[in-house]
């Protein structure tokens, strides 16, 4: 029985494309530049008994430079998956993928806060990655490093799974 289960997991690979890369946005007088690197991550096959959680092959740097915002104008960088992780024959709930966010560099103006959020991927509701008020510093702006992880399970079929996670910048 043990060999059958072990062989079932051999070769499983999970990949998520992080859409957004480098883009400039402008609306309601606010300009912004959003950068994401790398633009895809993957999770290697691992034994769920010894590795109940799998960390992605790379951390993701998410940067936002905001200009033209008033001192009280809120903004956010958020993401939403286009669905569950899918293979040709099965799926894994996207809610099994989560991240922790830690500030890498940059600041918001004195008296204002920019925050790197922790979260869980969703296919129904945008989830905050970064939020703040007012402009960020010039240059690279405010940057967060996100470390993605996924719940591991023996119930996953051995397959290659993929999904897109669209990351956007908005201000109400």
Q: Is 158 exposed, middle or buried (0-12, 13-18, 19+ CB in 10 A)?
A: middle
And the tokens for 118? 């922790």
pLDDT at 4 over 60: no
Distance CA 124, CA 102 (A): 25
Q: What is the pLDDT of residue 64?
A: 87
18 band by pLDDT with thresholds 50, 70 and 90: low
pLDDT digits 0-9 by tens, 44-63: 888 999 999 999 999 999 98
11 band by pLDDT with thresholds 50, 70 and 90: very low
Tokens 């690979």, located at residue: 13
pTM, to two decimals: 0.84
1 band by pLDDT with thresholds 50, 70 and 90: very low
And the tokens for 153? 């399970």
Among residues of the chain, what percentage have pLDDT more than 70?
80
Around Cβ 139, how many Cβ atoms within 10 Å? 9
pLDDT at 164 over 50: yes
Query: Of 20-29, 101-110, 116-125, which range is least confident?
Result: 20-29
């Amino acid at each position: 029985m043990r060999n059958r289960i072990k062989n079932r997991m051999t070769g499983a690979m999970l990949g998520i494309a992080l859409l957004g890369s480098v883009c400039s946005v402008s609306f309601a007088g606010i300009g912004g530049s959003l950068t994401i690197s790398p633009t895809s991550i993957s999770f290697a096959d691992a034994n769920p008994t010894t590795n109940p959680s799998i960390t992605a092959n790379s951390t993701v740097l998410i940067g936002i430079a905001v200009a033209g915002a008033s001192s009280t104008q809120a903004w956010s960088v958020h993401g939403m998956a286009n669905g569950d992780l899918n293979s040709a024959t099965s799926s894994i709930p996207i809610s099994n993928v989560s991240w922790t966010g830690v500030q890498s560099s940059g600041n918001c103006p004195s008296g204002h806060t920019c925050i790197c959020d922790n979260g869980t991927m969703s296919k129904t509701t945008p989830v905050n990655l970064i939020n703040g008020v007012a402009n960020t510093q010039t240059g690279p702006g405010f940057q967060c490093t996100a470390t993605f992880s996924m719940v591991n399970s023996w119930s996953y079929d051995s397959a290659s799974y993929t999904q897109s996670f669209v990351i956007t910048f908005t201000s109400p």
